[in-house]
Amino acid sequence: MNFAAIDNGFFRLETDNGTKYTFPLTDEGNAGLAEAIQEHNLDDITCSSSVDFPDEYGAPDMDVRAWIDKAFGPAPVSLSYKVLTDVLANLKAGKVDETIERMEGWKKLVEKGVEA
């Protein structure tokens, strides 16, 4: 379980593999958290109640959950939707051969385990 808490004004994260991080609740700290999220391929973080009351733990009174959400970044647009949109646009433009070529390429990606 990836666990986070506010401690002495800092955001502390321990990943499920035991790696520990400490970040200031700043833009720079958020960028560091974003890197940790990517490095460990995190999809969730369980938070202590200290995250909801940061001022009681030495941090500024702020929305720490929104700060965490910012580090996760915007929700990705589904590649499947992008593929469908591209296929439809190409077919409407009469680009049948190009569309077939792209679909064969996407099929190979799916066979390799890449979401398409």
Confidence band (pLDDT; 50, 70, 90) for 76? low
Mean pLDDT of the chain: 86
Clarify whether residues 53 and 96 are in a common domain: no
CA distance 86 to 107: 15
Clarify whether residues 66 and 87 are in a common domain: no
Clarify whether residues 21 and 61 are in a common domain: yes
Q: Give me the mean pLDDT over the 21-42 stretch.
A: 94
Q: Give me the mean pLDDT over the 69-81 stretch.
A: 72
The pTM is what? 0.64
Q: Give me the mean pLDDT over the 70-92 stretch.
A: 75
Q: In a 3-state reduction of DSSP, which class is residue 19?
A: coil
Domains in the chain: how many in total? 2
Clarify whether residues 48 and 19 are in a common domain: yes
Clarify whether residues 66 and 85 are in a common domain: no
Clarify whether residues 22 and 62 are in a common domain: yes
Q: Give me the mean pLDDT over the 80-108 stretch.
A: 79
Tokens of 75: 């929700």
Confidence band (pLDDT; 50, 70, 90) for 77? low
Clarify whether residues 53 and 87 are in a common domain: no
- Establish if 62 belongs to a structural domain: yes
- Which structural domain, as residue segments, surrounds residue 105? 79-111
Q: Give me the mean pLDDT over the 32-38 stretch.
A: 93
CB 47 within 8 A of CB 12: no
Q: In a 3-state reduction of DSSP, which class is residue 22?
A: strand
